[in-house]
Every structure is written in C-alpha cells, then in structure tokens.
Amino acid sequence: MEYLLLILGLVILIGGAEFLVRGAVRLALRFAISPLVIGMTIVSFGTSAPELLVSLKGVLSGYPDVSVGAVVGSNIANLGLVLGITVLIFPIEVNRASIRIDWPMMMFASILFYIFALNGEINFWEGLIFVLILSAFTFWLIRKSRIEGKALQAEAEIPDEAPKDTAIKDLLFILLGLAGLYFGSEWLVESVVSIAKNFGVSEKVISVSVVAFGTSVPELVTSAVAAFRKETDISIGNLIGSNLFNIFAIVGVTAVVHPLSISPSVISFDIYFMLGIALLLLPFMVWGKNIGLWKGLVLILFYAVYMYFSFATPF
C-alpha cells in the first residue's frame, strides 16, 4: 500500500506543478508582475504548504524535531538537490534582481533563524517578527514589480500581452495546482515515512532527510516543469522564495501557535549546512552567465555529503 501511495503521490504532484506553473505565468502577464516575483510569492507559498502542515502537525503532536528538521532539511534540499537537478535539465540564467534582492533576503532569513535558535527555542515574539518581515517584504516586492512592469511597457510602447479572458481561469489553474501539490505531497510523505520506519530509521534523521525531501518534492517538480517550459525565473524564484517562506512563514507561524524548541543537534550540525549552501549559492549566481551542469553537480554533491553525515553521525 505504501508503494502505491508513493507512485500516486508523484503522479499527482507532476500534474499539480504543471497547472500551477501555467496559472502563475498567465497571472504574471495579466497584472504586469514579473515571473520571478510570481515564483517568489504565489508559487513559493504553494510549494511550501506541505512544510507548514508537517511543522504544525509535528509541534502540536509533541514532535518538535520533525517541525524544525523538516524546515532546515527542506532548505538544504531546495538548494542542493532541487536546484541541482533543475539546472541539469535546463541551465538557469540568473536575474540581477535575484542577486541584489532575493539572495540577500534569503541569507538574512537564514542568519536571523540561526541567531534566534541559539537559545534552543523560537518563541511567540520571534515567530511574530518572522511573519511581519515576510508580510512587509512580499507587499514591497509585488508593488515594486507592478510599478516597474507598467513603466517598462509604457516606455517601450509594448502592447499589453495579458490574457484576454477573465482571471478566473488563471485562479482555477493555480487552485488545481495547489490541491495537486497538497494531496500529492501528503501521500508521498506518508508513504515514505512509513517505509523508512520499517527500516528502523530515527525520528530526527527521518525529519531532515525523508520528510524534508518529501516536502521538497513540490519545489522539485514545479521547478523542473518550469525549466522544461523555459520559465527559468519561476524556477529560481520558487526555490529562493520557498526557503524564505520556510523560515519566515512556517517557523514563524508555528512559533506563534506554539513555542518551537530546537534540538541541540540542529544547532550544532544541520543549521551550518543550511547556512553553508546558502553562501555557496552566491558565487554560483555571480560567476558565469548561468547556473549550469557543473554547478548543479556540485550542489547535488553538497547535498549527498550532508545526507551521508546525517546518517553516519551519532546525533
């Protein structure tokens, strides 16, 4: 039964990602918002929904290691495994805005999470700070993109390329995509965790590896579909935005609902890999015209090293 759920979850995830990307691109054209910003906001929120559900369920059920482990592990998987596989499919040309705005914001979120976690807990007020920062940043990002998009159209006398039909179809695509990602990831995580437990793997290791990978599958499938459709701005925006949402929204909302205790092993081990891969991404974005084959292989190797030490070290 677990293997049937695994296959069914993957199939639904792929279909959901296709609907989500198609709806997101149409919405970007309709409201003069760049695909990068759509990837950073709507698509990122949708693909981060599984992490939010896993985190809330974990902390309310008395398993904080699952909550924090899923977030930290997912952030490492997004940049190591997901981005690595995506650029193997199609090289991503990095938008300047990703270097000047998106990466610094993601790095800021990662460092702030590290500082707040040092005392072993993310409390209500720290969680509220995360949520408020994300709300302000998202509002500013969308407003800035709309102003710049309309100004560019006016200056260059570019005709309006927005779809002529109503926005209901776009929203329907996005809702169907989000539903597919939600149910697909739920079934996938449930089946994979069940299989892992059958092999006697610990809760903490399951959370940073199996659960983190499972909740990153929506990002993987969405980014891969976007790469196939040559919507590379959505790919990179989705991954950076998802890491932002994982910290600011998921850790933030979970801590507001219930104080979130941080495992010593996360503070002394996993969090350094999360900071390390975030730092590694910057030179990859700056050097060269795009993130391509060899950079993707390095990112995947980084993730493989993290997985090896996660299973090999006795934390």
- Predicted local distance difference test score (pLDDT) of residue 228: 73
Give me 57's structure tokens.
Answer: 């369920």
Helix, coil or strand: residue 314 = coil
pLDDT tens, position by position, 203-252: 567 666 766 776 676 667 777 777 777 666 666 777 888 888 889 988 99
Helix, coil or strand: residue 118 = coil
pLDDT tens, position by position, 16-75: 767 776 777 777 777 767 766 776 676 666 666 666 666 676 666 666 666 687 788 889
CA 287 to chain centre: 23
> Which of 115, 107, 64, 70 lies closest to 219, judged by CA?
70
- Higher-confidence position of 66 and 155: 66
Domains in the chain with CATH codes: 47-160+202-312 (1.20.1420.30)
